[in-house]
Structure 1
Amino acid sequence: MAIIKPFKGIRPPQNLVEQIASRPYDVLNSEEARKEAAGNEKSLYHIIKPEIDFPVGTDEHDERVYVKSAENFQEFQDKGWLVQDSRELYYIYAQTMNGKTQYGLVVGAYVPDYMNGVIKEHELTRRDKEEDRMKHVRINNANIEPVFFAYPDNVALDAVVRKYTVNKPIYDFVASGDGFRHTFWIVDNDEDMATVTKEFAMMSALYVADGHHRSAAAALVGAEKAKQNPNHRGDEEYNYFMAVCFPASQLTIID
């Protein structure tokens, strides 16, 4: 049984999304991020690669760098560059490259599912990389970047995705950094959200496709917070982390 839930996403206004969008933190080094963010104070790199706001050569693991990430994340919200949705929602995110599109449901994945093996990994992780991402999650109190999961193809979920993706998306742009087309919709109908939750609950497993260190870090921080909370119930936000779930038949390596 895979437990998921909708969540109140923090995301850019339509007119700013192309300025804010970035590649994942781990596909480029600090200097490449510095170049891509040059002249763009709204780039997400200021949050996920905040060493770019320090002199060249600054250690990306310096404690000041993590603090800067949190300061920038708060500044983006204060200035309205990132805005939290007012209600819990599911989302649909599509990536297109070379004529191939994969559609993913953006959900809150359950930390205990990672700990008990419902969320399955296929790579070993390094403790130093886990610690880096754990610090990032702790100081921001958020998952800034999602992980990617695969799930067994599901007719009911396909129907929900089709229902929304025939409509005009909230975001639709080709990123200058990677050349991918990124498209995004909101699933806001209560019945559809209930269907998504129910269909995932009937799955025996989800599979980490990308983001093993981010998954481990989010789960470890969630478990840490649960242990620290004497009134832990199990439904707190820290029990969930952001994941984009793709049907297995659509998954492809896009590089």
Structure 2
Amino acid sequence: MSQNLSRGSDTLGSFLHISRPEVDLPEATDPYAPEVYAKAAENLERMLGEAVLVQDPHPTFYIYRLTMEGHVQTGLVAAASVEAYDRDRIKKHEFTRPKKEDDRVRQIDALDAQTGPVFLVYPSDGEVDGMLSEEADREPELDVTAADGVRHQIWTLSDPVRVGRLTALFDGMSALYVADGHHRSAAASRVTAARRAANPAHTGEEPYNYFLSVIFPHSQMQILPYNRVVRDLNGLEREQMLERIAVRFRVETSAHAVLPGRHAEFGMYLPGQWYRLVLDEGRIPWDDPVQRLDVSLLAGELIEPILGIADQRRDERIDFVGGIRGLEALEKRVDSGEMAVAFSLYPTSMEALMAVADAGEVMPPKSTWFEPKLADGLVSHLLGGR
């Protein structure tokens, strides 16, 4: 791991001039236009020159703590190895979209820096967890509560002995996992490959061989459900649909909104009425880490065979609602007439995500909603020129 990083000392909002530089350009500017990336680079140089961003003089790790409504997670900010990513020691679980990946590549190249971290997870380790917690007992160097109420705290860790020990512990882990930020990590890999090819003196130690990450223990992750809403009932009347569902699920009416409490249990909302759906356990493919996911079970047992939606990535009849918005958001979209039916899901566990990644498989679309979100700009990784 490399620790060549710069820490933000300004408010969270000001970093929009780098992450969303189009705010400084005419309103009709295409966000993918060359001048947008150039403006981001100009703003980064200005912030460095004005000491809004301050580069630490020594190799440094950072401890990053997020607090949201009583939930606390404490991780390590570090620059993770692109080689480890390319060799699948940093495991992925999502496909990426070329256009979004290209945008990230252009941004990294223009800035000569990575300013948005990749959210990584490590299998919880008592010694690592303990070291991070100990470091967070001190007064933080940065303590900011954002507009959404999430508290972001940063501590520096530059003691060479402790830095070395943490590095050794992470190097000894069999794998890390990308929780969020697949486009950022894929773009970093592409930038590394291009710069390696263009550098005849390449050693593998250059800053461009690493990407900005925050690494949290899997036991502290908070994954919320990713719920579904569907525009129509595929030509069925309510009673017809309920009859077809009852062949595969136990169906119970509920006087209250249904927040599923276990695997293979779902809530369904039709205008004015909630239902609890419990899938017959004999229909669950326990030996398949992808197909046994709740999102896969709902797709394979109801959304595709009954509602006729085979491709959730592209079918415009279905939409997705992050669990942070609550069940009221599902009711509102159905009661307004915009959607015909809504489904609430049990959240995917971190263990289930890791099992999919370990199997070399890909999660279905919109399987996980992580909260709280990382902030861009608190820490950046400078690539040191081309």
Alignment TM-score, normalising by the size of structure 2? 0.57
The equivalent of 1:127 in structure 2 is 98
Q: Deviations over 1:55-107 (max 9, x none)?
A: 11211001000000000000011111111110111111011111001111011
The equivalent of 1:26 in structure 2 is none
Greater relative contact order structure (CA < 8 Å, 6+ sep): 1
Structure 2 residue 365 is matched with structure 1 residue 254: no
Structure 2 residue 332 is matched with structure 1 residue 215: no
The equivalent of 1:228 in structure 2 is 198
Shift of residue 159, structure 1, vs aligned partner: 2.1
More helix by percentage: 1
The equivalent of 2:6 in structure 1 is 10
Sequence identity (%) = 41
Structure 2 residue 95 is matched with structure 1 residue 95: no
Q: Which amino acid is 2:113 matched to? A: A
CA RMSD between the two structures: 1.1
The equivalent of 1:151 in structure 2 is 122
The equivalent of 1:242 in structure 2 is 212
2-side partners of 1:54 and 1:205: how far apart? Answer: 42
Where does structure 2 lack aligned partners over 5 or more consecutive residues? 223-369, 373-386
Task: Give the one of 33, 49, 57 matched to 2:20.
Answer: 49
The equivalent of 1:138 in structure 2 is 109
1-side partners of 2:85 and 2:195: how far apart? Answer: 15
1:24-103 residue pairs with structure 2 within 5 A?
Answer: 43-103=14-74
The equivalent of 1:198 in structure 2 is 168
2-side partners of 1:54 and 1:215: how far apart? Answer: 28
Where does structure 1 lack aligned partners over 5 or more consecutive residues? 23-42
1-side partners of 2:134 and 2:65: how far apart? Answer: 14
Match of 1:80, SS? coil
Shift of residue 162, structure 1, vs aligned partner: 2.1
Determine which structure has more spread, i.e. the larger CA radius of gyration.
2
Shift of residue 12, structure 1, vs aligned partner: 2.7
Counting matched residue pairs gives 225
Shift of residue 184, structure 1, vs aligned partner: 0.7
Match of 1:207, SS? strand
Match of 1:223, SS? helix
Q: Which runs of 4+ in 1 moved over 6 A?
A: none
Shift of residue 192, structure 1, vs aligned partner: 0.6
Contact 1:89–1:186 (CA under 8 A) maintained in structure 2 = yes
Alignment TM-score, normalising by the size of structure 1? 0.86
